Amino acid sequence: MLPARSWTLAAWVPLLSAATLSGCSVTDDIGDYFSNVVTEALYVGVDDPEAAAQLGFDQVQGAAASAFLARARSLSDIESNLFDDAESVSVSGDFGTAALASQGSGLYLATSEDAALQYTVGATVTHTVNDHGKTFTVVHTLPAAPQITHDGQHVANTALILDLGREFDNELTVVVDQDGNVTWDSRPQDVGGYLDWIGAGSVTTVEIPASAFPDAGAAYAVGVAGVDKAPNSAFDEFNPLVSNFAAGQMTVLPVVTSP
């Protein structure tokens, strides 16, 4: 399980160009598929941190980056081959470079509390790992938050379906009640959960279960991020067949329940 700290944003958060474009030889390009270093990474932000804070949604403050690292060549080998001794793990972009600190169990994490992380739609973020004298990178362009239209009213103890406005590779959803308690959380909590989550099919809607809205006459804050994965061509030295770098921006909606 991830460490018990606010996700601000993250209890996770929990990351080649084609040879003709990158200058790599075809041999180097093919060699990535035989790499035994794998990253399962996530970069998440919130579209309006001040509005989220006003709704009492302290699960999200700025941005967060996380990565599970393993030495493995197949998905079945990842959980048993996580490592905590990478020379350095970071994300970089217009905000500079932020180090991800080891949390144990293969997880590396940075949040806006720790570093000057920023989530800028359309900007490029690079995730870098240095291990045994070798540098591994993956580049991702940050997608915008889903465009969700909702009137803010909902019947208690019923499921809520939200249209994301377009197709995403996946979604992340968190619901918080007016006392700050999390009533629903789809974020992966360990590497096994991340692999199950990232392997799911694409989505155009999110369905939040009825149990997320147990009380009538109550206010809830609903945070939803549409998440896209970096393509295989974005990975350099990482094994792209089993590595993932996902990113998404969360929007936070107020919901008030009726009987």
Per-residue pLDDT, averaged over 116-141, amounts to: 96
In this predicted structure, the answer to whether residue 132 has a pLDDT above a threshold of 80 is yes
pLDDT for res 14: 39
Each residue of 144-169: pLDDT tens digit? 999 999 999 999 999 999 999 999 99
* Least-confidence region, from 34-38, 43-47, 81-85, 199-203: 34-38
Whole-prediction pTM value?
0.84
Instruction: Determine the 3-state secondary structure of 193 from DSSP.
Output: helix
CA separation for the pair 8, 11 (Å, rounded):
8
Each residue of 6-19: pLDDT tens digit? 343 344 443 322 22
pLDDT for res 59: 66
Contact 207, 184 (CB under 8 A): no
CA separation for the pair 121, 115 (Å, rounded):
19
Confidence of residue 52 (pLDDT cuts 50, 70, 90): confident
Confidence of residue 35 (pLDDT cuts 50, 70, 90): low
User: Would you put residue 167 in left (φ > 0), alpha (ψ -120 to 50) or beta?
Assistant: beta
Each residue of 73-118: pLDDT tens digit? 778 889 999 999 999 999 999 999 999 999 999 999 999 887 789 9
pLDDT for res 60: 58
Residues whose CB falls within 8 Å of the CB of residue 2, separated by 6 or more in sequence, listed in order: 11, 12, 14, 103, 107, 109, 189, 190
Residue type, 60: V
Each residue of 163-218: pLDDT tens digit? 999 999 999 999 999 999 999 999 988 899 999 998 888 999 999 999 999 999 99
Confidence of residue 21 (pLDDT cuts 50, 70, 90): very low
